[in-house]
Amino acid sequence: MIRYNVISALSLVAAMALPAAAAPDRTSITAAQVAAAISAAAMVVSPEQVTLLTEVVSKSNSPTLTIQSIESWGSHRIKVRLGCADQEECLPFYVAVHFDNESGVQTAVAHSDEPSTANSRTSQSSQTFVVRAGSRAILLIDGGHVHVRLNVVCLENGAAGQRIRVECKDPKQTYIAKVVNGGVLRGSL
């Protein structure tokens, strides 16, 4: 009995010591794929800024990745939770995104239904801002059977339809939200 337990323990230790590798029918998700998914959602990110916190694998070579949440994670970085659009392709996972500048997250061109409300750095001066940096607003987050209402402070100026960064003070977290009007922003889970 003791011999069996020792052999079992040694086998377990040996199995844990072996490096984890993707199964033969799985493909590793890369920092470039993650950066492309984040950039398509709301912020410009390069693969060099993305750190995968663990090896992540998918059933397909090019899965469609979706952002599930974004939150501040210390100074100059955020933690992003991603998953595959088809939940059977991969498990949800986290990545760290690092920023060198003081302002942190840079907002990219917003993906909105109306092309006339899409933002860009060059056309911001011609738009009428309905929220200003430092102003208070209500962030409405809807997802599935969950409806959340948060008091937030806008971190950027924003026009209707534009995506901006906002911050909730308790607990201190940063979100990307779409401006609806002067006091209401929308987000998703």
Which tens digits make up the pLDDT trace of 72-83?
A: 777 778 888 899
Q: Does pTM surpass 0.85?
A: no
**Residue ranges per domain, the chain?**
20-98, 115-188
Residue 152: which of 141, 133, 168, 174 has the closest Cα?
A: 168
| CATH for 115-188 (3.40.50.10860, 2.30.30.760, 3.40.640.10, 1.10.3720.10) | 2.30.30.760
Quick one: pLDDT band at residue 50, thresholds 50, 70, 90?
very high
Quick one: pLDDT band at residue 4, thresholds 50, 70, 90?
low
43 near 162, Cβ under 8 Å? no
In sequence order, the 6+-apart residues with CB closer than 8 A to the CB of 77 are: 96, 97, 98, 99
